[in-house]
Amino acid sequence: MTIVPGGVSLFGLSFARLTIAQAASWIASRPADAAFCYVVTPNADHLVRLSRDPALRAVYRDAALCLLDSRVVAGLGRLFGLAMPGVVPGSDLTAHLLARHLQPGERITIVGLAPEWLPALTDRCGLAPPAHFNPPMGFEQNPAAFAAAAGFVRDNPARFIVLAVGSPRQEMLAAAIQAAGGATGTGLCVGASLAFLAGAQRRAPAFMRRIGMEWLFRLGCDPRRLFRRYLIDSPAVIGLLWRQRPVRGAEPRTPPA
């Protein structure tokens, strides 16, 4: 359902050719009462996961805007001769939106982020007190808790709804909100972006982000949790990109629907 034209087709998704500023401007330009839609920012881990799960791939396809959040994937894709979109990290997109596109006193809606970090977030970003809901762990497997999270978004309309409960929970929640109807605003599926802004997690130095080594910094900060993701699961994206490479006389291969 991606509605920004001129995208790059990759992994069966249409990635928008937008910069951070352009993506933020598109999101901010949506009327406050526009029907709910959502933005996804897949990285290598997401792409490997959705390559194995057709239902999850459909969730990403139904996003209004799909942005690549991986300099590693972008670099490897270019190495293999693929046309690649620009990289728009979800954390940078969130920071840009909050810094440059909020009206004075405008309230956002947040799902996720431990409540003890809300004061630091509002102080650091100059935010009005947000509508905040922090669902319990495993809420995606609890129909009542999942419905409560979706209902909170519906009952607390805002132009920007930050869904910061990790992938694929946040994308599944966004798709359910959109499918149910009745909600407004733009859902931002942006993982740890608020934790970085609040200071709950350290983000890699800018030079590491520029050279595509943010993953290594995060691995060093939390090796027990991220070892499997970065060193076992995510490298499978190399094979996925290799199979997407252009072959003379043949159409690029894409995953089945």
Q: How many CB atoms lie within 10 A of CB 82?
A: 18
Residue type, 121: L
- The pTM assigned to this predicted structure is 0.90
What residue segments make up the domains of the chain, in order of their start?
Answer: 8-244
pLDDT at residue number 20: 97
In whole angstroms, what is the distance from residue 75 CA to residue 17 CA? 15
pLDDT at residue number 254: 52
Q: Mention every residue, 6+ apart, whose C-beta is less than 8 A from residue 130.
A: 107, 108, 109, 110, 118, 122
Tens digit of each residue's pLDDT, the chain (257 residues): 556 656 899 999 999 999 999 999 999 999 989 999 999 999 999 999 999 999 999 999 999 999 999 999 999 999 999 999 999 999 999 999 999 999 999 999 999 999 999 999 999 999 999 999 999 999 999 999 999 999 999 999 999 999 999 999 999 999 999 999 999 999 999 999 999 999 999 888 888 888 888 888 888 988 888 888 888 889 999 999 999 887 655 554 555 55
Coil, strand or helix at 119: helix
In whole angstroms, what is the distance from residue 144 CA to residue 125 CA? 32
pLDDT at residue number 4: 64
